[in-house]
Structure formats: C-alpha cells, structure tokens
Chains A and B, each alone.
Chain A
Amino acid sequence: MTRSDDWPRASLNARGITKNFTGVRALAGVDLDLPTGKVTALMGENGAGKSTLLKILSGDYQPDEGTIEIGGKAVTFATPFDSRAAGLRVIAQEPEIVPFVSVAENIYVGALPGSRGIVSQRQLQDRARADLERFGFERFLDPATRGIDLSPAQRQMVEIVRALIGDPQVICFDEPTSSLSDSETGVLFDLIVRLRDEGRAVGYVSHRMREIFQIADTVTILRDGRLIGSREIRDTSVGEVVRMMVGRDLSTMFERNRHELGEVALELEAVSTDDVTDISLTVRRGEVVALAGLVGAGRTELALAIAGDRPVTAGTIKVHGVAQRFRSPADSIAAGIGLAPEERKADALIMVRSVRDNIALAVLGGLSRFGVVDRRKERQLAEKYIAQLRIRTPSMAQLMQNLSGGNQQKVVLARWLAKATDVLILDEPTRGVDVGAKAEIYAIVDELAANGVAVLVISSELPEVLGLADRIIVMQEGRVTGELTHAEATEERILTLAIADHFSAEGVQP
C-alpha cells in the first residue's frame, strides 16, 4: 500500500437505489453513505435487502434506478470488473477458492506475477508471504497450502488478502466473522481499524450486535428493502437498533381456528447432530410450533435430522412417546413424520414429472395392488387435493416446472396430506411465494393443526412466526436460546434471542 499513501481517499455515496426481481421489490430508493475513515455497519433482518445492496455495489446486479458516486464521481458497474476498477471491493461471505492450487495462486488468480506467460513460483510465494505479513495473516496462512485444505476461516482470509492487494478505496465486508474464531476475529478487527485509519471507507454487514458496537462508527438499518435510518454508534443502543430493524404492521393474514391441544406428538430430548447441540422441544397434536432464528442457526439441519436424513449423535427423538432411531427418511415417514424442505425445487419436487406424480409420490404403496399402481385411485387422490388446496394448474398432468412457487408448495403439502402424517415439518413454507398464496398456505397450516396434526414451522420471517405459531423456539448457532408463547412473543424479543450473544441475552432489554 506504499503508493496509495498519497492518494486521496474517496467515500461512497449511493442515492435512491431501487432493484426489482420479477414482481418482488428488493430495494426501494435506498441511500447509503460510506464516508472515508469510518466503519459503517449495515443491519437488517433476513430479506431486508442487505445482500442485494452489496451485490449492486460489487457489480453482480445492476440497479433499476439510483446513482452511485465514489469520491464525488458518478460510476456505473456493468460487471464486477467495473466495480473493482472504480476502487470498490466487496468481500464475499463464501469466497470462490480454486481447490487444487496454492494459497499464493489463489490470491493472485487472474494476475499471476511472471513474465511472458511463465509463472515464477518463487516470486509468487515470496510475494504472497510479504502480503500476508502486511495484513497480519501470516500466523494463519501458509502460501503453499492448497485451496482444498483450507478451513472456512482461512478461505475468508484469502478472500480478504485478494481484495486488499488491489488497494481498494472502499471495502465492504459481508458477515466476515461467521466462520472466524475469536482470535481470528481479533486479527480481522485490527486490520479493519488499520484500514479505517488509513482513510478508507469500510462497510460492514453483520448480525452480531456485539461486533457492531465494537467496530462500527455508524449503523445504517434496512427493513423490507427500505432505508429506515442511520445512527452514530455512540448515540444509540442495542434496543434502538433492534426496534429499527423490526416493527412492521402485523398483517391480517392469519386466521386462528384451532384451540384443542392433544398429547405430545413429537418430543426431542437433548438431541445433538453435527450441526446442532442439545436441542429439547415438544410439539403437541393440534399445535403449531415455530423455530425462529437467523439463516445458519441450524434449524434446517435439525429438521433434516428429525426427518431421518442426518444422523443424530446424541439424545432421543420420540414420536407419540416412543423413542425412535431413524436410519433413513423412510423410517421417519413410517413413524408419521413428513418434511417439506426449504429448497422446494432442489429437494422436494420432481420438476420434470406431473402434478399427479408429485402428489402421489409418498403414497404409491397404498395406491398399489401387487405392485401395480391403481391409476383411477391415483387420479381421484390428485383431484381431491388439487380441489382442496386450490392448486392452480390446467390439469393434473401438467409438469411441475410450469407451476408458480405457491402452487408448487401446495403440491408438497398435498403429498404429506395424502400421507396423513401426524407430524409435519415445514421449512420456510412461504419462501418465494406471492402474498396471495402465502395467506392460503397459512390457512392450510391452521386447518392441519385444527385436524390434530403437530406442525413445526421453520421461518425466517418474523411476522409469519408471530402469526402462525402457538409457541416459538428461538435458535442461534445450533442451540436453543429461548422459548416464547404466542402471547409473550414480539419481534423484538425473538430478534434479541436470535442475534444477541447467548451469554448476554438476559442483559439486553429491547
């Protein structure tokens, strides 16, 4: 960074950034200022628009409206190269690492040192060692290590070094500490302070309150694709930031017709897997329990373990009081559990087959005699659920890939309704679903519970959690951090349990 010392530093000012994805407004007229010599934190719930904004800054997306200025000069980024050329660098959360080449080659990929097409390995290693030392990572990274042998934290460091050797004026970190240990985080924070003191503009996205209050000078808050406001860190509190992040009107989409709670249908006793630790919970017949938390809190992994698709390393899963050992999803289904997974298209539906085939997938055994599927019964089944769940499709022979997201989700629900499972796990049931279909799906969940099904809903949308659930269990980093009843739950309380560091959760008063 020798030559940059006498360069004028430049701030970033974005105005009125708007971005639409087919029918969904991800950002609506957002302003963002990243002044020189300051660390600006960007906060918001899942889906608030942080990632979209970062992708616009990195040149991956183009905004529909709005302007970006760097150092007072208007810039537009058609590609990520343009963004880098303008002196801006966004450090990816999950960096691309070339697996079978060294750290040094990974750092300089695209601009390897050497002459006339011949790469000098010695020069490469020396330069990499010097750069690692310059940024304080020499203790953690050997330039000769191959990409595939790097830990997530080391990958993150490679990405940071990659970014900094280009001498960017504006640097944005996207949840950089999610894979770092405390000592590694310490090194990163020292580096960020140094970058700030050199007069660079630093943007910092994180869900961790403690980090924000430790490293940031200013915090800017987004909600539902809109700018809510900015605060100086020394003038604000955790409570104010949380309040700014939530506080939407609860929509009137939720009907609650169910009342009677039956016996415990699903019970977890101190269940651990590779991803979650010591999870205990119960779901009764007729009850809707929500698992709240941030993306990456381990909720999906827990759901897969209950569904028999991930091994349980400790603890017991009980269905109707009977301890179970699931070796496969088939065992779990036999015990009466159904899972509608998060990635509908990738994990739940056969997109090249018909609506009918997809509805009947889990019940073909019951529709068959001597192994031959009774096609009349199958048609009747498909007809019944298409009508009951109001699945909008020209016919039951329509291919799944031609249905909208909401109708695809209803087909997944129909599959488990047909199976008549006692316990239903819904992982992000309304992701990518339009508002109308959302309300319909909520009504289906309500009716299922009224009919005595035990429902466990995983959702990252707080209004959905509050509207649907009788009880809310909050997870953070693979552990349960709290449980709230429908009556005592508020967005602030849930979010506090989801993002505050668990050891200090009690101390935070929203």
Chain B
Amino acid sequence: MSTTVVHEIPTTPEVARANAFKRTVLAVGVQNLSLILAIAVLVVAIGSQNSAFFLTSNLKTIGTAVTISGLLALVQTVVIIMGGIDLAVGSIAGLASVTSAMIFTSAGSSASFFGALAIGAVCGLVSGCIVVFGRVTPMIATLAGLIAFKGVAQLVSNGRAQGYTGADPFYVFLARGSIIGIPTLIWVLVLMALLIHFVLRYTRVGRNIYAVGGNDTAARLSGININRYILGVFILAGTVAALAGILITARTGSGQPVSGSEGLEFQSITAAALGGVALRGGKGSIGGTILAVILLGVLLNGMSLLGVNPFWQNVAQGTLLVAAVIIQQLRNGERRVGLPK
C-alpha cells in the first residue's frame, strides 16, 4: 500500500530507473524491505557458518517449526489491527490440544478436530464478551484468559499429557504428511495466511476491521456494528488458536495442556510488531507478519544449528520485540514525555 504516487513523467533513463526503484520500494513498503534485508543478512551469516542450513530437510524443519507460532501470529495480527490484543491464544491452544486428544480417545479424529475448534471458538467468544459487555480492556480480559484457560486445560487433564494420536492416519498426515513434497503443516500456514490476507485486504469485513482499529468512533458513526466485529475477531482468534493446538497434538502424538503452547502468545505479538502492525490499531498487513515469522524461524533455527545456548533464544526474541516497537514509535514521531500511548 503506497502512500504517494509519482506524477512526473520520466525524461531520462536514469530518472526512469530511479522512479522504478522508488515505486518498487513504495509498493513493497519500507517495513517489509527491511525485514527481507534482515532475513537475507541472517541467511548469509548462518549459511556461511554452517552449510547444513541450506539443506532441504532443514528448510522443511524451519517451515514446520514456525507453523504453530505462525498461525497464532496471523490471528494476533487481525486482533491488533482491530485495536485489540489477545494474550490468551497460547492457553487456548493448550486447552484445544489436550481436549482434542481426549475427544479423540472417546469419539475419533473428526469429532476431536471439530470439537477442539468449537472449544477454541467458545474461549474467544468469552474473551470478546468480557471486552464488549464487561468494558474490560483486551489486555486485561485476555490476560485473565491466559491464566484461566491454562487452568481449565490443567483441570480437565489433571495436568498430564492425554491420549495417543500417533497411530491415527489423520493426525499422522497433519504432523508428517506432505502434498506435492511440501509438508502439510506448511500448507496449513500458507493457506491460512492467504485466506486471512484476502479477507483483510479485499473484503468489506476486512476493511471494516481496519476502520474499527483506526478509529472506532468514526467506524460506529459510519454505521459499522463495532461490537459484532470485536466479538467476531476474538472468536476467529480462539478458533485459529485451537487449530494450532490440534497441530501440537499431531506433532507430539498426544494432548499437551501446557508444554508446547506456553509463551506462544508472546511470540505471536513479537511477530506482529516486527511485521509492522501498529500496536494502536488500524495499520498492518499479513505479508509483514509472515516475513517476521520467517525471520524469527530462521533466527531460532540458526541459533540451534550454531550450537548457541537455547536460553539465548528468549533473550533474542525479547530484544527484537523492543527494537521493533522502538522503531515504530520513532517513525510515528512520538514526543518523549510521560507514559507512551
């Protein structure tokens, strides 16, 4: 989405080239270009240290590793564009993971798939209702969800991993199958990214989500039912988080109440912020988030390939998050007085 259009007609080849360059930069966006640049630098740096990085098997490893956090980053992007935030997505994924395995044990794979999605949707609806009808800010409402949904997952499972899905063809296909040589997990992420990108960019619903996040009063006075959008987006976030939870079950072969999903909410926010989604709403795109997901995936993969102490991974992610937001705020021209908005 460019912000300016070049009017002047190029007179010389140099000017034409310069304009073409300018147009490309504007079309891709400064934010996305810097992400691509960062990924390129990382790839060169890691690849020069360890050539195993470029193996197809390692690229698949990166792809499958980022799927789960990537799914959450996609819906987090939608929530943040709408002006909210959802800290509960990780806990919802955990709850969906453990319940999917439990439903599987008693009722089979398709019941477990749709049952877990439904549980995720209900969790999202609860968050949304607390925000809309309880007038609680999304930050606090979903912080409560983060804690409480985790508790529910531990309660129903007694805190232990549940069931065994490792022999079920559907779950095996999800975890290790592939279509035309590309792992199913990567397909899930790519299809979901394309779907959400399409909705945000080309549909009325998507455009209204930007409007609600950009200025909710203006959206309301223009006839948009903003409560319906807030509820809908939180339900979407819960449902997609549940899908991520089902993938956790598939990958580990059993339902995990906490391990496998803990901390994913923060990774998803990091990816969205890094991808250029404005934390005050109204601005951002799925393309940026996906680039950020790839950047984080490459970084973490490279760190483990190079034998860096894994505890550094959290430090690196925290640093990236702060750096991304500082850059965002500086570009907004924030005055350095008082608490930032």
Binding site for B on A (CB under 8 A): 307, 309, 328-330, 333-334, 339, 341, 346-354, 357, 360-362, 364-365, 367-368, 371-373, 375, 394-395, 397-399, 415
Q: Which of A352, A357, A360, A372 contacts B203 (CB under 8 A)?
A: A372
How many A-B Cβ pairs are below 8 Å?
88
Query: Which chain B residue lies CB-closest to A345?
Result: B215
| CB-nearest residue of chain B to A357 | B207
Which A residues touch B223, using CB under 8 A?
A: 329-330, 333-334, 362
Expressed in whole angstroms, the minimum distance between the Cβ of A214 and any Cβ of chain B is 41
| B222 CB contacts on chain A under 8 angstroms | 329, 333, 361-362, 415
Nearest first, the 4 closest Cβ-Cβ pairs linking A and B are: A350-B214, A395-B5, A333-B223, A330-B223
- Contacts known (A368-B203, A373-B207); A350 close to B215, Cβ less than 8 A: yes
Cβ of A348 to closest chain B Cβ, rounded Å: 5
Whether B221 pairs with A372 at a CB distance below 8 angstroms is: no
Q: Which residue of B lies closest to A364 (CB)?
A: B204
Take A349-B215, A350-B211 as given contacts and tell me if A328 and B204 are in contact as well, using a CB distance cutoff of 8 Å: no
Which of chain A's residues has its CB closest to B2's CB? Answer: A397
**From residue 28 to 58 of chain B, which have CB atoms closer than 8 A to chain A?**
none
Is B7 an interface residue, CB under 8 A from the partner?
Answer: yes
B63 shortest CB reach to chain A, Å: 30
B202 near A348 with CB under 8 A, answer no
Could you tell me the distance between the alpha carbons of A395 and B1 in the complex, rounded to whole angstroms? 12
A357 to B218, CA, bound (A): 12
Contact-size category for B: 20 to 34
Q: Is B12 an interface residue (CB 8 A)?
A: no
- B195 at the A/B interface (Cβ < 8 Å)? no
Nearest CB on A from B133, distance (A) = 15
> B282, A373: Cβ atoms under 8 Å?
no
* Inter-chain contact B221/A347, CB cutoff 8 Å: yes
Residues 211-236 of chain B, each 1 if its beta carbon lies under 8 Å from chain A, else 0: 10011011111111100000000000
The residue in A346, A350, A371 that gathers the most chain B C-beta atoms within 10 A of its C-beta is A350
Q: Give the distance in Å from the alpha carbon of A353 to the alpha carbon of B7 in the complex.
A: 21
Q: Using Cβ atoms and an 8 Å threshold, which residues of chain A touch B2? A: 397
Show 19 A/B contacts (Cβ-Cβ < 8 Å), sorted by A.
Answer: A307-B221, A346-B215, A350-B210, A350-B214, A350-B215, A350-B218, A352-B278, A357-B207, A357-B210, A361-B224, A362-B222, A362-B223, A367-B204, A368-B203, A371-B203, A372-B204, A375-B202, A398-B3, A415-B222
B contacts, CB < 8 Å to A: 1-5, 7, 202-205, 207-208, 210-211, 214-215, 217-225, 278, 282-283
CB pair A309 B203 closer than 8 Å: no
Do A309 and B221 touch across chains, with their CB atoms under 8 A apart? yes
Give chain B nearest CB distance to A153 CB in angstroms: 28
Which one of B204, B217, B225 contacts A330 once the chains associate, using CB atoms below 8 Å?
B225
CB distance from A416 to the nearest CB of B (A): 9
- B283: chain A residues at CB < 8 Å are 352
Which residues on the B side are within 8 Å of A333 (C-beta)? 222-223
| B4 pairs with A365, CB closer than 8 A | no
Cβ-closest chain B residue relative to A374:
B202
Chain B residues with Cβ below 8 Å from A373 are 202-204, 207
Cα of A349 to Cα of B217 in the assembled complex, Å: 9
- Return chain A residues, CB-CB under 8 Å to B204: 364-365, 367-368, 371-373
The closest CB in chain A to the CB of B4 belongs to A394
Q: Nearest B residue to A346 by beta-carbon distance?
A: B217
Task: Give the residue name and chain of the A residue nearest to B7 (CB).
Answer: A394
CA distance A329 to B218 in the complex (A): 10
Contact B211 A341 (CB under 8 A): no
The chain B residue with its CB closest to the CB of A348 is B218
Who on chain A is nearest to B1 by CB? Answer: A397
> What separation, in Å, do the CA atoms of A365 and B205 have in the docked complex?
9
Say which residue of A339, A349, A398 sits within 8 Å of B4 (CB atoms): A398
Q: Is the CB of B220 within 8 A of A351?
A: no
B254: min CB distance to chain A, Å: 39
**Residue from A330, A346, A361 in contact with B211 in the complex, judged by beta carbons closer than 8 Å:** A361
Which chain A positions have C-beta within 8 A of B221? 307, 309, 329, 339, 341, 347-348
CB distance from B199 to the nearest CB of A (A): 9
Given A330-B225, A357-B207, A362-B223: A351 touches B215 (CB 8 Å cut-off): yes
In the complex, which residues of chain B have a beta carbon less than 8 angstroms from the beta carbon of A399?
3
**Distance A347 CA – B216 CA, assembled complex (angstroms):** 8
- Return B11 CB to nearest CB of chain A, in Å: 20
Query: When the two chains form their complex, are residues A395 and B218 in contact, meaning their CB atoms are under 8 A apart?
Result: no
B220 touches A329 (CB 8 A): yes
* Chain A residues near B4 (CB-CB < 8 A): 394-395, 397-398
The distance from the CB of A90 to the nearest CB of chain B, in whole angstroms, is 23
Given contact pairs A307-B221, A328-B220, A372-B202, a sample of 14 additional A-B residue pairs in the complex whose CB atoms are under 8 Å apart? A329-B221, A329-B222, A330-B225, A333-B222, A348-B218, A349-B215, A350-B214, A360-B207, A371-B203, A372-B204, A373-B202, A373-B207, A395-B4, A398-B3
Given A349-B215, A397-B3, are A330 and B224 neighbors across the interface (CB < 8 Å)?
Answer: yes
- Nearest CB of B to A362, in Å: 4
Collect the chain A residues with CB atoms within 8 Å of residue B7's CB: 394
Query: Which of A351, A372, A394, A395 meets B214, CB within 8 Å?
Result: A351
**In angstroms, how far is the closest chain B Cβ from the Cβ of A394?**
6
Cα A365 to Cα B203 with chains together (Å): 10
Asked if A364 contacts B208 (CB within 8 A), the reply is: yes
Closest beta carbon of chain A to B329's beta carbon, Å: 14
Docked Cα-Cα span, A397 to B29, in Å, equals: 14
The answer on a CB contact under 8 Å between B202 and A353 is no
CB distance from A424 to the nearest CB of B (A): 13
